[in-house]
Structure formats: C-alpha cells, structure tokens
Amino acid sequence: MERQAEMTNHNGVLMIQRLLLAGTLGLAVAQKAAAILDGEPATTNPEIPVPPIAAGQQAPDARSNDGAVLRAILDAANECLGHFDDRPPGERWCDALLHLLDLAAFAADLGCTANAANAANAANDVQLAG
C-alpha cells in the first residue's frame, strides 16, 4: 500500500498517467509545429469554433495565426530545454527547434509502428477466427 501512495498525487491520479499525458501532449505539439513548418495550416479541424464575422468583414486566412502558434510552441520548447541547458534562451532556440522536429519524427514513427502492430493483430485475429 505504501508504494501505491507514493505513485499518486493530490488528485489521486497516478503520476505515470500524468507523465504519459504530458508526453502525448508534447508529441502532438511537436507534430503541429512540424506541420506548420511544412506549410500546413495550424487549424485543420472544421469543428473548432470560429468567431462570427461582421457584415462587410472578410474572413481571416486560416494560416494567419500560424506564425503566432509556431512562435508559442518554439518559446515553450525553448523554455523546456532551459531545464537541461544552461545557455541563454537566445543561444538555444535553434536546438529547441531541432528537438521539436526530432520529436515530430519520433511521433510519426510511433504512429507507423502502432498502425503496423494493429494491422498485425487484426491479421492474427482473422487467422485465429478462421
């Protein structure tokens, strides 16, 4: 019982769950930054609410906020890197960008691996059922 008490926080959620959530969030953000750098819009989900447009006003370009989104992601990555790198932020921003792109590639690899594993499991299920 004592070991389990060490693994929970004040909300009763296991710390490993929070770490997994933080890691998943970090990978998703890294993928978003890489997508923006590749020229894809930051918001691709049509279900995200958009503020109403006044009469005579032109709808903003979907990519108009991409620079701000990318800047916020890079600033956060640079701040996170600062926990491990004691250089000033201005000297480590390039490394922060490289780490983001590396994480995005890692997330893509994880996605490919997960899809391949799911396909293999489905094929095994079909063979076992047949």
pTM over 0.75: no
- Overall number of domains in the chain: 1
30 burial level (CB within 10 Å; 0-12, 13-18, 19+) = buried
Q: pLDDT tens across 62-114, in order?
A: 666 788 888 999 999 999 999 999 999 999 999 999 999 999 999 888 887 66
What pLDDT was estimated at residue 95? 93
Q: How far is it, in rounded angstroms, from Cα 30 to Cα 77?
A: 9
Q: Is residue 74 assigned to a domain?
A: yes
Q: How far is it, in rounded angstroms, from Cα 83 to Cα 89?
A: 11
The range of the structural domain enclosing residue 12 comes to 2-41+65-129
Q: Is residue 107 assigned to a domain?
A: yes
Q: Is residue 36 assigned to a domain?
A: yes
Q: Is residue 16 assigned to a domain?
A: yes
User: How remote is the C-alpha of 57 from its chain's centroid?
Assistant: 33
